[in-house]
Chain A
Amino acid sequence: MSYLVHHLALVGAYTLQHMALVLVSLAIALIIAVPLGIFAAHNRRIATPLLGALGVIYTIPSLALLAILVNYVGLGFWTAVIALVAYAQFLLVRNIATGLREVDPAQIDAATGLGMSPRERFWRVELPLAMPTVLGGIRIAAVTMISLATIAAYINAGGLGVLIFSGLSQAYPEKALAGSLPAAALAILADLVLRSFERRALKSSAS
């Protein structure tokens, strides 16, 4: 523990870097996944191959994916972002599509019949009702990203992985621990916070 205590500022800096990597990736991932998810929800024929393809990306070992990406885009932060975004797509698109598809058809019919435009219907009825499932996807994606982001240190993307890898290679377990403990804490914290959002959304949308 003494490494952690004596290098609090350094550990803090790596933690922030780690969070930045995850948050930037999550934001970009959502920007891509939301339209894809909506599209997949309305086009079943395209949903299956799309989710299949995203599923394939999801199954590629993370280190292998990073190695492939380094070949094309080089080392660094943004390479890691690309990898995290690619991984999250399967989880996000799947949950967004499922959530939207499971909205009670009677409520959609009523929304249309009362005179909501497709856009109004989406924001006022479909999205709120799909929210618990969507948030579930975001939670799993966020936790997955936090753990994957530790490996990003391998390609000079920074984050808590830096401490873990150098600790391991220097046979300095305390240093490795100073990286892995905050990483674990981040994952648990993200899970708890997003889970509480999910519960709140579930409470207000349950039929």
Chain B
Amino acid sequence: MRYPNSDRNAVEGISLSIEPGEFVVLLGPSGCGKSSLLRTVNRMVDLTSGYVSVGDRDVQSLDPTQLRRGIGYVIQAIGLFSHMTIAQNIAVVPTLLRWERSRITTRIDELLTLVGLDASRYRDRYPRQLSGGEQQRVGVARAIAAEPSVLLMDEPFGAVDAIVRATLQEAVLRIAHTLKTTILFVTHDVDEALRLADRIVVMKDGRVVQYDTPLQILSRPAAVYVEQLLDTKDVIRQLSLLAVRDAMRPSFVPLPDASNTTETRPHSISAVSATSSLRDSLNTFLSGEQTLTVIEDGRSIGTLTFDDVRTALRKVI
């Protein structure tokens, strides 16, 4: 694909297939073509050769307006319509699709709750009355309003500060798990990519360098470029991708669960959640603990030692 007035292709020689419900992150420095690639999916950018298909239909054969109504679109600049209320913003695509009024009203409240905003408080406000983080939550709600099967996110959290970004990432992960939408997400933030992606597309100069799971990319980088971009030798980074559950020794005799423990017993700082990352357990080890209790749903289901962490790491590398 090439832009007018350009002497080289913005993206070329790319062949990717994405499973339904997958969260795929396009990662690379600015100018690598990741946004262009994303925008070929909803034909905001048209291919000069090749094809993109969604489901089993070639997007090039569809009317771009109709196509876009079935694909969610979130951009870094947010672009909420400033003359419309939050509710009207979210209602844009359902209205274009001529949903019934009552269905739209219900959907608006449902979506505001889903993105973590109190519907009664935010419904009738205008975008300018919201913070940047709140605006992008609405941006996400607006994009998924008509239940698209695919959601495109073009550096959606690039303009918000680190703390807000973390809460927005959590919200998006939650939405991805509840809606099972296929998500394509563009970023140049390596940690964001590792945190969100089922699979990462590492890009350079309009081409794909590697397309694999975060763990595979960190443990088996396909090129020096990938090693450098993701700093794959960073052990801490690798640990952040491994769950405590996968490294622990399960205990077959369950310890008394939380409800049976006496009030006097101090809440053990050596407890760690089964779903948290091994990186999180490091803190506790470094503060002098030898053995951690692994907790799931308030029950202890196993133990974790520093040696277990090292074993898990060795298995990966």
Bound pair (A, B):
yes
A107, B82: Cβ atoms closer than 8 Å: yes
In the bound complex, residues from chain A placing their C-beta under 8 Å from that of B96 are: 114-116, 120
Q: Are B66 and A110 in touch, CB under 8 angstroms?
A: no
Contacts of A112 in B (CB 8 A): 44, 68
Q: Does A48 contact B (CB under 8 A)?
A: no
Q: What 1/0 mask marks residues of chain B from 50 to 92 whose CB sits below 8 Å from any chain A CB? A: 0000000000000001111110010101111111000000001
List B113-157 residues whose CB lies under 8 Å from chain A.
127-128, 139, 142-143, 152
Contact B65 A116 (CB under 8 A): yes
Chain A interface, DSSP helix/strand/loop, else mixed: helix
Min distance, Cβ A6 to any Cβ of chain B, angstroms? 51
Are B65 and A107 in contact (CB-based, < 8 A)? Answer: no
Judge whether A114 and B142 touch: CB under 8 Å: yes
12 A-B residue pairs with CB within 8 Å: A104-B79, A106-B75, A106-B79, A109-B75, A109-B79, A111-B81, A112-B68, A114-B96, A115-B66, A116-B92, A124-B81, A129-B82
Most chain-B CB neighbours within 10 Å: which of A106, A107, A111? A107
Q: Which of B69, B83, B128 has the most CB of A within 10 A?
A: B83
| A205 closest partner in B (C-beta) | B83
In the bound assembly, the distance between CA atoms of A109 and B127 in angstroms comes to 17
Using CB atoms and an 8 Å cutoff, list the residues of chain B in contact with chain A.
42, 44, 65-70, 73, 75, 77-83, 92-93, 96, 127-128, 139, 142-143, 152
B-contact 0/1 string along A53-77, CB 8 Å cutoff: 0000000000000000000000000
Pairs A-B, 8 closest by C-beta atoms: A110-B79, A106-B77, A115-B69, A115-B68, A113-B73, A207-B82, A106-B79, A205-B83
> If A106-B75, A113-B42 touch, does A128 touch B80 (CB 8 Å cutoff)?
no
For A110, give its contact among B70, B73, B83, B128 (CB under 8 Å). B73
A120–B77 Cα distance when bound, in Å, is 21
Specify which chain A residues have a CB less than 8 angstroms from the CB of B82 in the assembled complex.
104, 107, 129, 205-207
Q: Given A116-B96, A207-B127, check contact A109 B68 (CB 8 Å).
A: no
- Residue-by-residue, is A94-131 near B (CB-CB < 8 Å gives 1, otherwise 0)? 00000000001111111111111100100011001100
Q: Which residues of A contact B92 (CB under 8 A)?
A: 114, 116, 124
Extra A-B contacts (9), CB below 8 Å, given A205-B83, A206-B82: A106-B79, A109-B75, A110-B78, A112-B68, A114-B93, A115-B66, A115-B96, A120-B96, A124-B92
* Chain A, residue nearest B92 (CB): A114
